[in-house]
Structure 1
Amino acid sequence: VKILEDTDGDGKADKVTIFAEELNIPTSFTFYDGGIIVSQAPHFIFLKDTDGDDKADVKEILIDGWGTFDTHAGPSNLQYGIDNNLYGVVGYSGFDGNAFGQDLKFNQNVYRFNPKKKTFEVITNTSNNTWGLGITEDNEIFASTANNTHSAFVAIPNKNLKDVKGIGADGSAKIDGHYYMQPITSNVRQVDVFGGFTAAAGHYFYTARAYPEPYWNKIAFVCEPTGGLVHQAKIVNNGSGYAEEDYGNLFASADEWSSPVDAKVGPDGAVWIADWYNFIVQHNPTPNEDRGGYNAENGDGNAYVNPLRDKGHGRIWRVVPKDDDTYEPKKLSKKHPGALLKALSDDNKFWRLTAQRLIVENEYVDLLSGLYELVNDQHVDQNGLNNAAIHALWTINGLNAIENNNEALKVVRSALYHKAWAVRKAALQMLPRNTQTDAAILKANTLYDTDPRVQLATLLYFTERPSSTKMGQLMYNLSQDHKVMSDPWLYKALYANAAIHLSGFLNAFHKANPTHEISFEKRVDMSLVNYDDSDWETMELPQYIENAGLDIDGVIWFRREVNIPANMVKGATISLGPIDDSDITYINGIEVGSMASSYSSNRHYKIPDGVLKPGKNTIAIKVEDTGGEGGIYGNFWQMYIEAGESLVRINGAYKYKVEKSFLDQEEKVTNVFDMVNLLYKYYDNQSNKIEAQENIDQNDAKVIEIKVLKNEMKFNVTRFEVNASEQVELVLQNPDYMQHNLVITKPGKKDIVGKAADKMAADPNAATLNYVPQMGDVLFATPILNPDETYSLKFTAPSKPGEYPYICTFPGHWRIMQGVMIVK
C-alpha cells in the first residue's frame, strides 16, 4: 500500500511512501478509525500509523477465513457505506471461517460488516465471480460480476426473505441491458463470453458535479480489463427497481497492456482509473501444447506462471472535464469539527462521506444540533435529492443518538415526511424496530408512498416485525393496489409480509371475499383431470408465448398428458425451468407447487406421494405474465418428472387457453387469489393432504462419471459407450474455477450447436437458459455448474446407434471441451 503525493502542485505524484508492505495480494482498502482496512485473503487486516511517519506500525487481523485457492475470485471492493458499515464483494473462493464470533461459510455475494459493533451480514448472493460494487448517492446498491452480468441490482437482503416459502428468494437481479463491450482495438484476448463482459469490475457511480448533469448519480463505471476500457452503464429507475442502458465508454485504449480494473470519483470530481497495465490479463486457464501453446504451470492462487506477467508497473489516469477543470484543493481534519459539518453539504460524495466518517469515528455529539438542521431542510435538487440530509441522518445514526436522545429520535421520525424520497427511505432503514416506530410509519403512510422505493423500504421494515393481525390486514389492503402487485420487488416484499403476518392477512382476505373457498383439488376447474380441453390450441414448450405468436400479457393455462411408469409414482419431483412471471402447477388436479413474481427462478417442485398414478397423468400449469415476453421459457431439458433413477421428459406440445388478457386493462396485476393459494399451500399444514401408496422399486441406470479437468478446459472423459434406449445417469463434477456445463447433441451437429451457443451469449436471458441453445439439435444438457458443484443428468439413450458429441456451451468453451457418446 503506497501513499502518492503531489508536492509541487503540477497534478502528478512526485513523492511515494510505502505505507505497508509484504501483504498477500491486497485487492482493496477503505479508510476506517484513523487507519485502513485491507482485503488480502485469507485475512482482512487493520493497518494504522500511530507516530506520524506515514508507515503503518499497527497490524491487526480482523477477519480470517477468506478463500485463497483462486486469487481472482477472492474478496475485494471494500468501501465505507453511507450507513456506516463497510461493504465488499467476494467471488467463488468465498469464506469459511469466523467473523466477529460468527462461524460463516459462503461464496459469491455482497456483504457488509462493522468492526466496532462486531457484526457481519451477507446481504444477498450473486450469480458468479463478483468484482464490482457501487453505492449511489441515495444509498441504492449495485454489483457487477465477472461473467456476463456487468450490472445487477441488490434489492432485498437475505434476512428479509429468510424462511419465506412459495416465492423465489432471489434478492438481486441481473439488469444489464446489452451484451457487447466496445473496445477500440481488435487485439482482445478472452477465454469466454467473447465480445462481452468477461471480467467486469468496479460499478462505482459518478457522485460529484464536475461532469455534466446526465452523469449525476446516474452513470456507473464498469471496467472491462480484457477490452482495455471503462464502460458507462446508465442506470434508470424502474418502479422499485432499476434497468441498465448502454452509455458508451468513458475510457478506451488500443494499448494491449491497458487493463482498467477500477474507476471512481476522486476529491476533485474527476474520475480516477486504476489501470493494472499488464499484457497477461487472463488469470487462467493454463495454456498447454494441445492448445498450441506451451506447457505452463500454475502458481499459488491458481494463476498460471508466465514470464510476460508484469509485477512492477501500473497506471493511474484522471479523466477530467474538457471545458472546466478548475478545482480548489480541500482539506478535512478531525481537529475542525465545524468544517466536517459544513462538508456534509458538499457536492461531491467523496467529501460528504469522509466528513461523515470522521464525525462518527470521533463521536462528535456536539454537532447534533447542526445535523438536525440539515435533516429538517426540505430542499431538494433537480434530481429530487437532498444529499446533506441523507448524510446527516446516517451521521446521527452512527453517533448512536437515536437510542439515547429523544430529540434525535424525533428528528429521524420527522424525516418520514421529507420531500426527498431517499431521506424518507433512510429514516425507515435506521428507525428502531418497535411499536412506537410502527405507529410513526403508519401515520406517515409510507406504505402508500408516492415513490415505490420508499414503499419497498417500508415493506422490508415490517418483515422484521413480529406477526401482527393489524399488519396482516394492512398488507391485504395494500394487495389491492395494482401498481404494487405488478412490481416484482414490491410483490416479493408484500408476499414476505403476508407470510409473516399470515393470520391477519388471511382473515382480511376472507372478510373481503366471504364466498371464496380454498380447495386445492377443485378451486380451479382447468386443473382437473376430466376438464374438457378438446377445443384448446397447441403450443410447443418451452418457449416465450410471444415467440409462439401469443402477444399478450395475462393468465394462460397449459395442459398435457404424460405416461408415468409404476416405479415413478412415489418420491417424484417435477421440473419446469424458469417461468415468466408466476405459476401454479397441478398434477391430476392437485397443486404441487407455485411461485409468484419470480421470472428468473427455476421451478422444481416435490410431488406428494399419491398424486401420480401409473399410466396417464394430467399436468396443468396456470401461468401469469404481467409484462415482457412471458411463459415457460427455459431449456427443454429442464422440463421433466423424475423419481430416483427414472426420468420422463415433459417438454413438447401443450394445449393452452387464455383465461384472462390484460391488454384491455389499465394495469397488469398479479391476482391476490393466487397469493392466498400460495400461502395456504406453504403455511397451512392441514391443506392438500394426500394418501401415501406402496413404495415401488426403481430401475437401475448406467452411471457415467465425468469431471472437468482443473485449469485445462477439458473433460476427463472424452468417450463413453451406452446401449440404445438404455437408462443413463451422467454425473458431471466441476472442480474447476470456471463455470461449465455438458450438452449432448445429435450426430454431426456439434459445430452448429457450438456456434449457436456463442451467438446466444448476447441474449440477456442466456445465463437463465444456462447457455444451452434452444434448438432440436440439442438432446440432453446439464445446467451451468459453478466451481465445486455436481449435477446428475438422467436420460434414456437414443434408440438409434451412432456417435453423439457432447460439449460445454458456456461462451467459447465448446471448441476445446468436447467428447463423444457412442450408442451401440
Structure 2
Amino acid sequence: MRRFASLAGVLLLAAVFCSAATASPAPRPDDKSTVSALFLGDHGHHQPAARAQQIISALYTMGVDIFYTDEVEAVNLENLRQFDAVVFYANYMEMTDAQEQALLDYVAEGGGFVPLHSASGMFRNSEAYIALVGAAFDSHGIGVVRTERTDATHPAILGVPEFESWDETYIHKHHNPDRTVLEVRHEGDHTEPWTWVRTHGEGRVFYTAWGHDERTWSQPGFQQLVARGIKWAAGDWALDVVPRSMLYEYVDAVLPSLEYNSNPENERKLRPMQLPLDIETSMSRMVVPPGFEIELFAAEPDIVKPIYMAWDERGRLWIAETIDYPNQLHEEVGQGNDRITILEDTDGDGRADSFNVFAENLSIPTGFAFANGGVVVVQAPYTFFLKDTDGDDKADVQEVLFEGWGTFDTHAGPNNIRMGFDNWIWGVLGYSGFDGTVGGEAHRFPMGFFRFKPDGSKLEFVRMTNNNTWGFGFSEEGIPFASTANNNPSVYMPVPNRYYEAVRGWTPVRLGTIAEDRRVHPVTTRTRQGDFKGNYTAASGHALYTARDFPEEYWNRIAFVAGPTVRTLGRFAMESDGSDYKALNKWNMLASDDEWTIPILAEVGPDGALWMVDWYNYIPQHNLGPFREGWEHGQNNAYVTDLRDREHGRIYRIVHKDADPGESMDLSGASPQELVAALRHDNMFWRQTAQRLLVERGEQDVATDLYGLVRDTSMDGLGLNPGALHALWTLHGLGMLDGSHDEAFGVAAEALNHPSAAVRRAAAKVLPPTDASRNALMANNVLEDEDARVRLAALLALADAPPSDETGAAVFAMLTAPENAQDAWIPHAATAAGAKHARGFLRAANNADVLTGAVKEAVGHASFHRMSGILAGEITAMDMTGSTEEEAGVSRGGTRPDRDGVIMIASVGDEMAFDTRLIEATAGELVTIRFVNNATSPAMTHNVVILEHWEYINPVGLTALAAAEHDYIPPEHEEKILAFTPTAGPGEKVQVTFTMPPPGDYPFICTYGGHYVAMQGVLVSLDPEEEPEGDN
C-alpha cells in the first residue's frame, strides 16, 4: 500500500479504480423490499453509535435498515457482500491491504458506499480509499452551514428538502475530478464541494460533508439525505423501495405517558393504542441481520402467552403458558389457569401442528427443566416435580420438592432454570427472594443465581445480582451468565458465595454489569420505559449461541438479551478479560416497530436455530417505574390495567440461510454408546441432554468410553473439546470422581494438562476436595496456567482442599504476580484459598517486603479468618505501603472511622449499591456515618438505615415503601432501627452520629423505594477487649 506522493498519483489511481459515471446500476435483488446498510463507526468523539441511533427509526420508516458495528474487521468482502450499502462514519486512520481490496472489490461488484462527514478523513494511508471517496478532509471551521444545490434533479438528492444546520465547515483536499457534485458550500470567494456522487466499477459512492454532531443528525432533511444517498448507492432498484407503511389501526385507551413523567395529571389519559397485527404483517415489521430469516413455529389460538420454553430428549418443544400473570397468582395448588404444553411439527413443514397439554391448573410457572424422567417446575412459592408414568404425555405425578420462593412480585420470582454442567439445576431469581427450608436447611436470600439438586434435596444461593433478574445461560465452557432488569443486561458469575462465607468476616459483593454499553437500539420512538430510558430496563434472557449453524462470529460468543419494552432482541459479545468478562453491545438480532411485539426469551434449539418467544402484548411493563403516580398495583405488584392481553403469543425461529438443516435427533431411546457419542455433538443442547441421560441412567459401565473422550487432546477452532469437557462432568455426575475410583481420578488429573483451557478448567472443578486433588493441582502447576479462568478454578478448588503450608505459600506467591493481583476475580479466589491454607499463606506474607492493593486486602481477610478461631494466630506487624507499623495489624477489610470518628459511605453511580458492604467500629465509640449519593438519576435517592437485627430487613424495607411522608422510616418499626440518615437525592450528602452498640453484626440498608433488596451491608461492632492491637 502506497502513501501519498502527489496529487497526480491520486488521479492516476482514480483512473484505474473508477469507472465512468454512466456505469450500470446493480440489479434489484429478487426478494428485497428494504435496503440493508452496514454502518461502521468507532468509539471516537463523533459518537457514531449515538448518531446511528438518532436516525435508525427515521431510516427504518423510509425502508432502510441500519446494522451498526464498531469493528473495523467487518471490512471484509464476505461480510460486506451481505449488505446493499456500507456507511462509514468514524475516524480510523489506517486500513490494511486486505481491507482496502475488500472495499474496492465490494463497490466494483455493485455495492453501495456511503462515506459521511469524518469518513473523508479516514484511512489516510490509502490512496485508493481517498480516490474512492472522492476527496480527503483537510481542515474545518465551525458555524451554521447553508448549501447550494448544483444538481437538484439528480436521483441521489431528488426530493430531499434543503436545510441548514450548525456543523463543521469542511475543507477537502486531493479532489477526484471523476465525480458529480450535488451541493456546494460558499464561504467568501471560496466554493467548497459538499455533497457528491461517483461510481466505481458496477458500484456507486455517495458522500456528504454534513454530520458533525446531533444538531445535524436530528434534521429531517439530513435524515432524508442519508436515506436517499444509501438508496441511490445501493442501486436504482433501491430508489423504488417504498417507505414502510405506518397505516396501523388505533383506538383510544387509558395509557401511561410514553415519557418518563412524574406529573400525575399527565399519567392516566386517553392515548392512541395500536391494535394487534396479524402474524404475517407483524413478521414483516421485524428486522434481522442480512443472511437470516424469521420463521413462525406456533401462534395463537394454539398457544397463548408463552413465558418459557425448553426441549426434551426427543427434540420436542415444551412451553409454559400463563394467563394468570401478572396479578392472579393462585398459591393454592391446582387452582390456576396455566399450563405446560408439548408442541410438535408432525408433518415436517416447520410449523407446530400438535399441541398436547402435559400439565394444567398451574399458576404462573416461570421455568422448568427436564430431570429424572419428568420436569422440575418453578412456580412461586413451589418447586414441583411432574412426571408422566403411563406414556400418554400427561403428568400424572405431581410432587412438591420444596417451597419458599417469594410471591410478592410475580416478575421477580425464580426463572430460566436449566440443568447445569455440574448436574444441578441452575436458575436466577428476582427480588421476591426465597425464604424456606430445603433438605432440613433453612435458606433466606434475595435476587441472584441459585442451584439445587434435581431431587430437591439441597439448595444453594450461588451469588447475588444487583437488581431484578430474569435471564440466564451457560457458555460452552459451563460459565454462567445472567441478565437483569435495571441497566444491567449482562452479568458474569465468577466466584460463588460459599467461598466468601467460608472466610470469617468476609462477604461477597453484589455482581454488577459487565456490559460496557447498556443502550438499547429500537427502530421506533414509540417505546414506553419505566426508568433508565434509552438503556436496557427490562432485559430478559441471556442464552449464548452454542451451536454451529450461524456464522462463526456467533459461536460461543454472542448472547441474546431481550429488550421487551423496546421490542428488540439484542446481541452481546462475551469477551474474556483475564478471569473476568466484558459484554460488548452488538446492537440487535431482531427489532420491530409493532407495538405488540415483545421478545422475552431466545434460546438455541436442537436444530441450531435461535428460537424466540414473542409475548405479543401491548403492555410490556410489570411496573411503571418510580414517580409514575395514579396507577394501582395489584396483589402481585403489577400495575393494574385491563389492557393486558390474554389471547396472543407467538414463537419464532431465526434461521441462517446457509445453515445445513441436517438430520433430526432423538435421544429418548439411545444406547449408552450413542449417548456417549452425543457428548461430542456440535450443538450444546444435545451434549447436555446426553450428559443428563447418562447421569440419570446411573450406570458406570460407560467409564472406559468416557475416559477415551477425556484423553482426546484434539481441539476445534475455538480451542474447545466439548466431548472431553462433558465426559468429565458425566464422570462427576456418576459419582466416579469422589476419590474412590483411582482410574477416574487419574484421568481427571491428567486433564489438568489438556490442550484446551476449557477442559483444564473443568478438570480443576470436578476433582474431589482431597489431599490427592490438592497435590495434583500443585504438581501440574495449574496456578501458573496461561488462562486466567483456569487459574481461578484452581484457586477455588484449593479453597475446598485440606490445608497445606506449601499450598498456602504457593497461593501467596502467585497472587503477587501483577497479572493476578490486578485481575478482577483472582484476588477473591486467592483470598478464599489463602484463608483455607492460612498458615503457609500468612507466613509467606510475613516474609514479604511490601504488601499493597489486592495482596494486602487478601492478607487482611486471611489473617482475620485465622485470628477468629480457624487457626492459631501468628502473623506479626509488617511494613505495608501507606501504613505505619502501628496500623499494620489485622483487619477484616471493612471501612473504619477516620481520626475524627467519621465513616464515609457512598452510592455507586446510578446502581442500587453502596460502595462498601462492611463497616467497622469499636463498641461504645461515638461515630458519624457520612453518606454521599453519587447518583444522577432521581430514581436513585438513598439513605442509610442501621437495624438492630437481620430479621428486621424485610419488615422495615417493605413497610418503608408506604412511609414516604416519614422520609421512608416506618414509624411502626422505629424500635428496630439503631440509627438512620435522612434521604439524599443525587449529589447530596447526609450524615448521622450515634454511639456504637454492643459487639455484634448489625445490618444496614437503604429503605427508599424498595432499594433494601439490593442495598445491604454489615456494621460490625468490635469488642474493645478483643480487637487486635494496632487494628486500623
TM (norm. structure 2) is: 0.54
Indicate whether 1:339 and 2:674 are aligned.
Answer: yes
What is the Cα deviation at residue 255 of structure 1?
1.0
Shift of the 634–323 alpha-carbon distance from structure 1 to 2, 3 Å rule, reads: same
Indicate the residue corresponding to 2:639 in structure 1: 304
Aligned partner of residue 279 in structure 1, secondary structure: coil
Shift of the 463–633 alpha-carbon distance from structure 1 to 2, 3 Å rule, reads: farther
Instruction: Give matches, 1:549-568, under 5 Å.
Output: 564=900
Aligned partner of residue 775 in structure 2, secondary structure: helix
Unmatched runs of 5 consecutive residues or more in structure 1: 530-559, 565-571, 581-598, 620-631, 646-705, 721-728, 736-740, 746-771, 793-824
Shift of the 383–308 alpha-carbon distance from structure 1 to 2, 3 Å rule, reads: same
Instruction: Give matches, 1:277-676, under 5 Å.
Output: 277-285=616-624, 291=629, 296=632, 298-324=633-659, 326-403=661-738, 404-513=740-849, 564=900, 574-577=903-906, 601-602=915-916, 605-608=919-922
Q: Which amino acid aligns with 1:410?
A: G
Which of 259, 270, 274 lines up with 2:613 in the alignment?
274
Superposition CA RMSD, Å? 4.1
Which of 380, 386, 398 lines up with 1:47 in the alignment?
386
Q: 1:446-465 CA distances to partner (integer Å, 9 max, x unpaired)?
A: 01111111110111111123
Preserved CA contact (<8 Å) 1:709 1:716: no
Preserved CA contact (<8 Å) 1:234 1:247: yes
Work out the CA distance in 2 between the residues paired with 1:561 and 1:31: 55
What is the Cα deviation at residue 327 of structure 1?
3.2
Indicate the residue corresponding to 1:16 in structure 2: 355
Shift of the 527–356 alpha-carbon distance from structure 1 to 2, 3 Å rule, reads: same
Preserved CA contact (<8 Å) 2:603 2:610: yes
Shift of the 602–465 alpha-carbon distance from structure 1 to 2, 3 Å rule, reads: same
Q: 1:423-448 CA distances to partner (integer Å, 9 max, x unpaired)?
A: 11111111111111111111111011
Aligned partner of residue 149 in structure 1, secondary structure: coil
Shift of the 786–149 alpha-carbon distance from structure 1 to 2, 3 Å rule, reads: farther
Preserved CA contact (<8 Å) 1:263 1:273: yes
Shift of the 166–55 alpha-carbon distance from structure 1 to 2, 3 Å rule, reads: closer
Indicate the residue corresponding to 1:201 in structure 2: 540
Shift of the 634–505 alpha-carbon distance from structure 1 to 2, 3 Å rule, reads: farther
Indicate the residue corresponding to 1:692 in structure 2: none
Which of 581, 585, 606 lines up with 1:246 in the alignment?
585
Preserved CA contact (<8 Å) 2:416 2:427: yes
Shift of the 129–330 alpha-carbon distance from structure 1 to 2, 3 Å rule, reads: same
What is the Cα deviation at residue 409 of structure 1?
1.7
Shift of the 578–481 alpha-carbon distance from structure 1 to 2, 3 Å rule, reads: farther
Determine which structure has the larger strand proportion and give its number: 1
Preserved CA contact (<8 Å) 2:405 2:414: yes
Which of 595, 598, 601 lines up with 1:256 in the alignment?
595
Work out the CA distance in 2 between the residues paired with 1:316 and 1:644: 48
Which of 477, 486, 490 lines up with 1:138 in the alignment?
477
Preserved CA contact (<8 Å) 1:708 1:733: no
Aligned partner of residue 575 in structure 1, secondary structure: strand
Which of 384, 396, 409 lines up with 1:70 in the alignment?
409
Indicate the residue corresponding to 2:565 in structure 1: 226
Indicate whether 1:188 and 2:527 are aligned.
Answer: yes
Work out the CA distance in 2 between the residues paired with 1:515 and 1:185: 54
Preserved CA contact (<8 Å) 1:225 1:281: yes
Indicate the residue corresponding to 2:1012 in structure 1: 789
Q: Which amino acid aligns with 1:159?
A: R
Aligned partner of residue 450 in structure 2, secondary structure: strand
Q: Which amino acid aligns with 2:623?
A: N
Instruction: Give matches, 1:73-84, under 5 Å.
Output: 73-84=412-423
Indicate the residue corresponding to 2:435 in structure 1: 96
What is the Cα deviation at residue 116 of structure 1?
3.9
Work out the CA distance in 2 between the residues paired with 1:172 and 1:642: 21
Preserved CA contact (<8 Å) 1:733 1:789: no
Count of aligned residue pairs for this structure pair: 613
Shift of the 486–31 alpha-carbon distance from structure 1 to 2, 3 Å rule, reads: same
Indicate the residue corresponding to 1:160 in structure 2: 499
What is the Cα deviation at residue 471 of structure 1?
2.0
Preserved CA contact (<8 Å) 2:773 2:801: no
Indicate the residue corresponding to 1:126 in structure 2: 465
Q: 1:557-590 CA distances to partner (integer Å, 9 max, x unpaired)?
A: xxx998x5xxxxxxx561243799xxxxxxxxxx
Work out the CA distance in 1 between the residues paired with 2:443 and 2:762: 28
Indicate the residue corresponding to 1:112 in structure 2: 451
Work out the CA distance in 2 between the residues paired with 1:105 and 1:600: 21
Aligned partner of residue 484 in structure 1, secondary structure: helix
Q: 1:609-656 CA distances to partner (integer Å, 9 max, x unpaired)?
A: 799899xxxx9xxxxxxxxxxxx99579x9x999999xxxxxxxxxxx
Q: Which amino acid aligns with 1:451?
A: D
Preserved CA contact (<8 Å) 2:438 2:459: yes
Aligned partner of residue 472 in structure 1, secondary structure: helix
Shift of the 424–515 alpha-carbon distance from structure 1 to 2, 3 Å rule, reads: closer
Preserved CA contact (<8 Å) 2:619 2:644: yes
Higher mean displacement: 186-195 or 27-36: 186-195
Q: Which amino acid aligns with 1:73?
A: A
What is the Cα deviation at residue 299 of structure 1?
3.6
Shift of the 475–733 alpha-carbon distance from structure 1 to 2, 3 Å rule, reads: farther
What is the Cα deviation at residue 204 of structure 1?
0.7
Shift of the 236–408 alpha-carbon distance from structure 1 to 2, 3 Å rule, reads: same
Work out the CA distance in 1 between the residues paired with 2:544 and 2:783: 29
Work out the CA distance in 1 between the residues paired with 2:878 and 2:701: 66
Indicate the residue corresponding to 2:969 in structure 1: 731
What is the Cα deviation at residue 496 of structure 1?
2.6
What is the Cα deviation at residue 12 of structure 1?
0.2
Shift of the 603–342 alpha-carbon distance from structure 1 to 2, 3 Å rule, reads: closer
Aligned partner of residue 595 in structure 2, secondary structure: coil
Preserved CA contact (<8 Å) 1:235 1:245: yes
What is the Cα deviation at residue 76 of structure 1?
0.6
What is the Cα deviation at residue 487 of structure 1?
0.7
Work out the CA distance in 2 between the residues paired with 1:163 and 1:510: 23
Q: 1:746-772 CA distances to partner (integer Å, 9 max, x unpaired)?
A: xxxxxxxxxxxxxxxxxxxxxxxxxx6
Shift of the 190–159 alpha-carbon distance from structure 1 to 2, 3 Å rule, reads: same
Preserved CA contact (<8 Å) 1:734 1:788: no
Aligned partner of residue 440 in structure 1, secondary structure: helix
Q: 1:220-271 CA distances to partner (integer Å, 9 max, x unpaired)?
A: 1111111111110111100011011111111111111111111010011010
Work out the CA distance in 1 between the residues paired with 2:376 and 2:946: 50
Work out the CA distance in 2 between the residues paired with 1:81 and 1:196: 30
Shift of the 121–287 alpha-carbon distance from structure 1 to 2, 3 Å rule, reads: closer
Work out the CA distance in 2 between the residues paired with 1:148 and 1:260: 17
Shift of the 124–613 alpha-carbon distance from structure 1 to 2, 3 Å rule, reads: closer
Preserved CA contact (<8 Å) 2:564 2:600: yes
What is the Cα deviation at residue 47 of structure 1?
0.9
Q: 1:114-144 CA distances to partner (integer Å, 9 max, x unpaired)?
A: 1348221111111111111111000111111
Work out the CA distance in 2 between the residues paired with 1:486 and 1:445: 20
Q: Which amino acid aligns with 1:574?
A: I
Q: Which amino acid aligns with 1:40?
A: Q
What is the Cα deviation at residue 158 of structure 1?
0.7
What is the Cα deviation at residue 346 of structure 1?
0.7
Indicate whether 1:148 and 2:483 are aligned.
Answer: no
What is the Cα deviation at residue 480 of structure 1?
3.1
